[in-house]
Amino acid sequence: MSMIRDLRAAVRPALRKGLAGYGGTGTEQPGAPTSVVDCAVYRDGNRVREQLTPGEAMRRVRSEGGFAWIGLHEPTEQEFAGIAQEFGLHPLAVEDAIHAHQRPKLERYDDTLFTVFKTIHYVEHAELTATSEVVETGEVMCFTGRDFIITVRHGGQGSLRALRHRLQDDPELLAKGPSAVLHAIADQVVDGYIAVADAVQDDIDEVEIEVFSSAPGGGSARGGDASRIYQLKREVLEFKRAVSPLLRPMQLLSERPMRLVDPDIQKYFRDVADHLARVNEQVVSFDDLLNSILQANLAQATVAQNEDMRKITAWAAIIAVPTMICGVYGMNFTYMPELHWKYGYPSVMAVIVGICFAIHRGFKRNGWL
């Protein structure tokens, strides 16, 4: 019995280490969910048709060649610890990958490139309101090494499953190694930016039409759209925070020679960088256009308020005439003009009406009424 206990004590740490290398916590039951979405080895552009743990994939690559692609979704610190140790990932990059909420960036740690992409998803809505969510963000982080690429995804959007299948249908491209996967991810993210930019453009056009086609004195011209414009501007700002910081990493990947990026793949990064620059210019123009629309809307509200004040002032001036005359006659003096004349009352009323009509006509001619 003592020999069996000693054997169990020796096997248990090794078993826990193996489970941790797979992405588990070391205490999970068989069949428990794991953050590892997919783990595969690719050799000569073709996937090795075997179910492998990250540790097994790494050992297979080191002994037989090819590269490993491991996909994870929102791993915990415990789940990622075994993979980070197996692949020698830098602790700072691992911390960023676990906690997310990072700016798009490209960093080099020893023989590993750490890249952060912000994914953008357009939220469909029947009508843009002051509380509408227009864009939803997520993150895809890539650890790219000589013979591996590890993708860590945060958020409900930006799935790489379809991208993996598409790359597997192109063995010639996938044979270029991990940098081919990195390029495909960057290309998919930027293509998503283009689609979202087109959808946001439609929202901006809708708001612009409503602001500038409103009838004089209408509700839209009184600043009712200001809250919707401001909300759209905030969503565009979130979009801008995902696009603009990525310009420098794409420029580096497309222009600076790197050992971990195949020279043939580097040419493709130039196309991605060009598309990203175009999207960035479009997003910046969105921000400027919304500023102009917001200022125009506020100016329309100010003009409408001035119109109201002019009308109120004009009517107050008209009403002041009968008020003044009636006030004079109401002071009960003995000697008043036409006080004892038979037609005195109608005459005074006619004078009041005549003066009010003349004042009204003058205001009408000057555009105050």
312-346 pLDDT, tens digit each: 888 888 888 788 778 777 777 666 666 677 777 77
Summarize the confidence of residues 271-297 as an average pLDDT: 90
Q: Are 284 and 315 contacting, i.e. CB atoms less than 8 angstroms apart?
A: no
Looking at residue 366, its pLDDT comes to: 80
pLDDT band at 110 (very low <50, low <70, confident <90, very high): confident
- Count how many residues are written for the chain: 369
When comparing pLDDT for 288 and 15, which is higher? Answer: 288
Query: Is residue 13 scored above 50 in pLDDT?
Result: no
Give dist(CA 21, CA 264) in Å, integer: 33
List Cα–Cα distances, 18 to 44, 76, 85, 214, in angstroms. 28, 17, 12, 67
pLDDT-based confidence at 11, cuts 50/70/90? very low
Q: What is the mean pLDDT of residues 253-266?
A: 88
β-strands 148-154, 135-144: how paired?
antiparallel
Q: Yes or no: say if 366 and 317 are a contact pair by the CB < 8 Å rule.
A: no
The β-bridge partners of 351 are none
Beta strand extents in the chain (DSSP E only): 36-43, 46-47, 67-73, 105-109, 112-122, 135-144, 148-154
> How much is the mean pLDDT over the chain?
81
Which residues, 6+ apart, have CB-to-CB distance to 184 below 8 Å? Answer: 163, 166, 167, 173
pLDDT (0 to 100) of residue 304: 76
With H, G, I as helix, E, B as strand and everything else as coil, classify residue 144: strand
- Look at residue 120 and tell me whether its pLDDT is greater than 80: yes
* Furthest C-alpha separation in the chain: 135
Residue range 339-367: mean pLDDT, rounded: 79
Domains of the chain from N-terminus onward: 307-365 (1.20.58.340)
| CB neighbourhood size of 356 (10 A) | 16
| pLDDT tens by residue, 165-199 | 999 999 999 999 999 999 999 999 999 999 999 99
Residue 302 pLDDT:
77
Q: Report how far residue 20's alpha carbon sits from residue 11's, in angstroms, rounded to the nearest whole number.
A: 14
- The amino acid that residue 2 corresponds to is S
Q: Report the pLDDT value the prediction gives residue 99, as an integer from 0 to 100.
A: 86
